Amino acid sequence: MNKMNVAILGCGTVGGGVATIIREMNKELAERSDSEIVLKTIVEINPEVASERFKLPLDLFYGGGKKLSVVEASEAIDEIISSEEIDLVIETIGGTSDFIHNICLNVVTSGKHLVTANKALLAERGTDIFETAEKKGVKIGFEAAVCGAIPIVKTIKENFTGDKILSISGIMNGTSNYILSRMQNEGLGFKNALQLAQESGYAEADPALDINGGDAGHKIILLIKLAYGIDVSMNDLSITGIENIKKEDIEFANEIDAKIKLICYAKKINGDIFATVKPMMVKNSNFLSGVNGATNAVRVNTKYSGKHILVGKGAGSSETAMSIVSDIVFIARYGKKMRNTAARQTVNFVADASKFVFPYLITFHTADLPGTTGFITTAIGSRNINIDTVSHNRHNGEKATFSVATMPCQLEQIETAIGKIKTERPGILLSEPKVMPILY
């Protein structure tokens, strides 16, 4: 039987989970990979803490279990990278710093396979890592980087090789979905729902990347690379987070039989990529509207086999660790036949958000004056936008709030209509209208 010697860099929540699974399932993993998976060493600054937390023997850690300084840990990593004994390195330190980037680049440059859950690094700075791995004939596993336990990476890489992916949409950030679910199901405001997410362990003390759409953006970039072989950067995406979702938005969603979800969306049309991360009004007829809590779900629409939905936990120690171990098994068994997923072409055009065609819901805050609703809907219609429904007005003193649901149109048509409203009736709009796509 072949042997695959592996080293883990970092033994926190994910790294410790990986070590635990390798030790507990050693026999099963050998049978599934046709190789003995041997955990040779773990580099961890505080091994005693990790040892106690994950019930790992201290002699498994580099240095025999003694606490390492940052310099010593860095030297240990360099030694592992240069070692001919190690076949595969698992990076679970995280981050996008030059230090982490260089570690991953040096791993593949040395001829070793790399497995990581580091979505931010691969999305923002992964191009040279993928290209180097391809040149060196080694593989990169990153199933755990996108939606935790959901096998979406292997599904797109392996299962749809005989099909053409038309679009990908989904809920790819559990924290934002948990917050929106609590707001919709319990009538909570954003701040209270965020606090509950933090208390429940779904949101970090600094939840910025989760609520501003950045984390979801990293994931859809990796799926675009996989599905279309195109290199897209964060700067190419139109990203809006959930920080400004209010109770009134939830109420307007209910009026049009929809739920608000932070949606990752990508579609390729004639070589052009339409990609965005935004809160959307997801119609209740769409499966994604019923995905609640911290659950993730990805919907893939293909030319020949139709629509497919994968649902599962998007984070967690054992869930993420399981995906990493799955990559190790695949590389051990099929490494020579696997292909890396470095983008092989530059994108023709990443469509500007103003070119996106969706039905939209537009929320207006206006002065409470006679004829306001009629004037605004007429201005919208003047831009060749068909209106689906207009909500009831909410009156509050001298202010009014209402929403307009459109039929499919380009966002720039709506932006032009709003400009016309501002020009012809200055002061009628008390705030910038909120525009959200409607997803059927």
Residues forming the active site = 219
Which residues, other chains included, contact 358 with Cβ-Cβ below 8 Å and sequence gap of 6+? 408, 409, 411, 437, 438, 439
CA diameter of the chain: 82
The vertex-3 CA angle with 64 and 111, nearest 5°, equals 80
Distances (CA, A) of 353 to 80, 213, 218, 278: 45, 15, 18, 11
Token pair for 242: 């959930």
Contact predicate 343/230, CB 8 Å: yes
Distance of CA 316 to the CA centre of its chain: 15
What is the C-alpha to C-alpha distance for residues 203 and 173, in angstroms, rounded to an integer?
10
Question: What residue ranges in 191-257 does DSSP mark as E strands?
Answer: 230-231, 238-239
Query: Which residue do the tokens 């949101």 mark?
Result: 203
Token pair for 103: 């570690």
Token pair for 301: 């629409």
Distance of CA 17 to the CA centre of its chain: 21
What angle separates helix 98-109 from helix 70-82, to the nearest 10 degrees? 20
Contact predicate 92/15, CB 8 Å: yes
